[in-house]
Structure 1
Amino acid sequence: MTDREDTDEVLSAVSTAVLSVTRHLSVAEVLEVIVRSSRQLLRARYAALGIPDEGGGFAEFITDGISERQRAAIGPLPRQHGMLAALLHEGETIRSRDIRADARFGYFPTAHPNMTDFLGVPIRDGDETVGIIFLADKECGFTERDEALLTLFASHAAIALANARLYEQAHELSVVQERTRLARELHDAVSQKLFSLRLAASSARALAASDADAALSQLEKVESLAAEAARELREVIVELRPADLDVHGLAGTVRKHLRLVERLHAVRTEFTVHGDPGVPAGAELEVLRVIQEAVHNAVRHSHADLVRVTLCGGPEFLAEISDDGSGFDPGADNGGGLGIESMRERVAGVGGRLDIDASIGGGTTVRLAVPGV
């Protein structure tokens, strides 16, 4: 490769990282671009980026160069120990020809690749280390130039994380303002309707023994008021939009939801994303609700041990939710219950289609397709 070609490749990779920060991508998607670009540019076999949590582990740990099967075999996310802890707590770049010879090295899990060459850089926001990015196994070893380039990628990761923090803080403020507005609307609309409903019900009870026709009129009023209250309440509720969609995008929100499901239930989840899984803004919430409903059914009703969710981007957005649970008979009366009907209505409402494959004892697979972006 000529110097010019090498320079062009560097500029292209850095440009991709910069654009990913400025586009409306979720933080996780931006970090995935940075990890992938840095590994490919520096010709390393493996790359990873970790964002620590407060419990001694990692809230995010994004890898490139390791298959999903390998990652599953390795086991849970790593803890803050060994070289990862050194990068986090010492805040210095580490470049080594053999990571195993470093006194700070701990061990590799049984299924973990046996890495040698190592280049790790802390991701810093001012004086604070907010994450780490590292590469491993480059055929000729890592150079000072590689170190400078990875430091550049780390700075873009820091910008993405800082922007996300600012966005979340601004969003939290908007959520408080929105809650205040909703409380006011609930008081002005639904609360007043409920008061009128209670008054009409009391009148009907008082008239029941002396004037049946008047009592019936009051009961009809109760029915009308209840319908109005329900309608107005629905109108308020549909205005609510999950905060995670605005911050993390659809794929990031689904990923976080699956992690929450794993914490709350004795179930494993697998999440796969192909391409850029985007849907029009008006369809995003409906798609999320359908995915959540399918996962809920797998956990609560099918008692699944494993739930897989796959999202595919393109001209047509595709999502597949499958489980190994007890399944059900789609041909039976009320097959799948009201939840299935609600899912069909949601998908149809955004111009999509929903297909369900299920059998008793054979698990369930839900597939939905809607126009992409």
Structure 2
Amino acid sequence: MSRHLEVREVLQRIATSARTLVGAEYAALGVPDDHGGFAQFVVDGISDRQWRAIGPLPRQHGILAVMLKDSAPQRLDDVRQDPRFGGWPQAHPDMRAFLGVPILDGDEILGALFLANKHSLANKHSPADPTGGADRHAPFTAHDEHLLRILAAHAALALTNARLYERSRELTLVGERARIAHDLHDAVSQKLFSLRLTAQAASALVARDPDRARAELAEVSRLAAEAAEELRAVVVELRPAALDEDGLLPTLTSQVEVLNRAHTARVGFTHTRIHALPPAQEAAVLRVAQEALHNALRHSGAGSVRVVLGPGPGGCGALLTVSDDGRGFAPDEVRRAGRHLGLVSMRDRAAGVGGALRIESSPGRGTVVELEVPGG
């Protein structure tokens, strides 16, 4: 658990470890928010399809609420018979034997581990038993509870460490944003001020001195070009701090997880191993992925977005694909209307590293953004 620094990855590792440690069919770990729900909730032993069928995250009620308010473990032979049991959705698997242990940092409850359905020792390793030997009637033991409490103590340290790590990264990003704001102010704002004054002067001179007005407009054009170039230099120079620290795959993974928590659309990320890319190409891949995800989640109305990263043709470079099932658009109409949806920025980033950007979309058919960058 301590080898992982991303909070969600730590939570998943804790849930998986707990389930394996005491031989349970199902495990879950919930981290409460301040509004009667869960900031994070991970499960183990339930397929993605089952999890989607169950529906929204649970609220803090029944046994779950007890676990988040009381530091005492809860061990029940049949959770359904407990008077505090609040029921579960129709697609929820059948659970009887229950063991819950809070994850504590001093007196603060960071979260709670929930285990259900004890494995039968007689069938646990039997290949003929497709359930893995889960016996919903077998109770968890005092020894199981003891082991889980030890695990929860280690989990508290790992979770606290992961939270501190993510907080330090947030502070790094805040500092980076402050630096960018300072650079933008110094590099661009004075030129924009001069541009505005020159444009006002040209406007005043149009009627009485056309030749001088044309000269002022030429100066406006020159100042605008300089401002655009300096702005581009500031943006291109910026390389995300997380990219330097963690690399492309962990950074993309982390951003997809954040987007999954912030949006109702389901965002998936799959990848296969790619050879190391030059820093400029890694930054381009990340920025194009961010722009494509932003468009899909904010503008397309998609219910599902898929990000795939793997090697390019012949195993060299990288191929990024971001696809969604949203409403799509007609690229030519968007271009004629003067709306770009970040398409120009994505094409510029691709061209800047010798890559190629392809966009396929039509109304009602979703969108696919594909970036191919060559090997370093």
TM range (shorter): 0.7 to 0.9
Match of 1:110 in 2: 90
State how 1:63-78 maps to structure 2 within 5 Å: 63-78=43-58
Shift of 1:165: 3.7
Take 1:19 and 1:190, find their aligned partners in 2: how far apart are those partners?
44
Question: Does the Cα contact within 8 Å between 2:295 and 2:341 map onto a contact in 1?
Answer: no
Shift of 1:307: 1.8
Take 2:144 and 2:36, find their aligned partners in 1: how far apart are those partners?
29
State how 1:1-373 maps to structure 2 within 5 Å: 17-20=1-4, 25-140=5-120, 141-171=139-169, 173-175=171-173, 177-205=175-203, 207-208=205-206, 212-238=210-236, 249-262=251-264, 269-274=265-270, 286-298=284-296, 302-304=300-302, 306-311=303-308, 320-328=321-329, 339-340=342-343, 342-347=345-350, 358=361, 360-367=363-370
1:251 partner letter: T
3-state SS, counterpart of residue 110 of structure 2: strand
3-state SS, counterpart of residue 129 of structure 1: strand
Describe the superposition over 1:223-242 as per-residue Cα deviations: whole angstroms up to 9, x where unpaired.
11111112222333456677
Take 2:333 and 2:207, find their aligned partners in 1: how far apart are those partners?
47
Q: 1:218 to 1:185 in 2, by over 3 A?
A: same
TM-score normalised by the chain length of structure 1:
0.75
Take 2:193 and 2:374, find their aligned partners in 1: how far apart are those partners?
44
Question: Does the Cα contact within 8 Å between 1:277 and 1:311 map onto a contact in 2?
Answer: no
2:48 partner letter: E
Shift of 1:51: 0.8
Question: Does the Cα contact within 8 Å between 1:302 and 1:327 map onto a contact in 2?
Answer: yes
Shift of 1:29: 1.5
Match of 1:265 in 2: none
Q: 1:58 to 1:327 in 2, by over 3 A?
A: same
1:250 partner letter: L
Take 1:177 and 1:363, find their aligned partners in 2: how far apart are those partners?
37
Take 2:93 and 2:232, find their aligned partners in 1: how far apart are those partners?
53
CA RMSD of aligned residues (A): 3.9
Shift of 1:191: 1.9
1:19 partner letter: R
Describe the superposition over 1:197-244 as per-residue Cα deviations: whole angstroms up to 9, x where unpaired.
234334434554565444333322221111111222233345667788
Take 2:342 and 2:171, find their aligned partners in 1: how far apart are those partners?
34
2:366 partner letter: G
Describe the superposition over 1:69-128 as per-residue Cα deviations: whole angstroms up to 9, x where unpaired.
111111100111111111110011222332223333221221111112222211112210
Question: Does the Cα contact within 8 Å between 1:251 and 1:311 map onto a contact in 2?
Answer: no
Give the number of equivalent residue pairs: 345
Structure 1's unaligned 5+ residue stretches are 1-16, 263-268
Describe the superposition over 1:284-313 as per-residue Cα deviations: whole angstroms up to 9, x where unpaired.
654454344434544566544x22325567
TM-score normalised by the chain length of structure 2:
0.74
Take 2:281 and 2:7, find their aligned partners in 1: how far apart are those partners?
21
Question: Does the Cα contact within 8 Å between 2:77 and 2:96 map onto a contact in 1?
Answer: yes
Match of 1:7 in 2: none
Question: Does the Cα contact within 8 Å between 2:7 and 2:163 map onto a contact in 1?
Answer: no
1:222 partner letter: V
3-state SS, counterpart of residue 306 of structure 2: strand
2:2 partner letter: V
3-state SS, counterpart of residue 33 of structure 1: helix
Question: Does the Cα contact within 8 Å between 2:319 and 2:370 map onto a contact in 1?
Answer: yes
Shift of 1:135: 1.8
Question: Does the Cα contact within 8 Å between 1:52 and 1:59 map onto a contact in 2?
Answer: yes
Take 2:51 and 2:173, find their aligned partners in 1: how far apart are those partners?
37
Q: 1:270 to 1:94 in 2, by over 3 A?
A: same
3-state SS, counterpart of residue 196 of structure 1: helix
Q: 1:307 to 1:169 in 2, by over 3 A?
A: closer
Shift of 1:167: 3.6
Take 1:29 and 1:330, find their aligned partners in 2: how far apart are those partners?
38
Moved more, 177-186 or 352-361: 352-361
Moved more, 346-355 or 214-223: 346-355
3-state SS, counterpart of residue 256 of structure 2: helix
1:113 partner letter: P
Moved more, 84-93 or 40-49: 40-49
Take 2:215 and 2:234, find their aligned partners in 1: how far apart are those partners?
29
Take 2:165 and 2:297, find their aligned partners in 1: how far apart are those partners?
33
Structure 2's unaligned 5+ residue stretches are 121-138
Question: Does the Cα contact within 8 Å between 2:29 and 2:41 map onto a contact in 1?
Answer: yes
3-state SS, counterpart of residue 225 of structure 1: helix
Take 2:288 and 2:78, find their aligned partners in 1: how far apart are those partners?
48
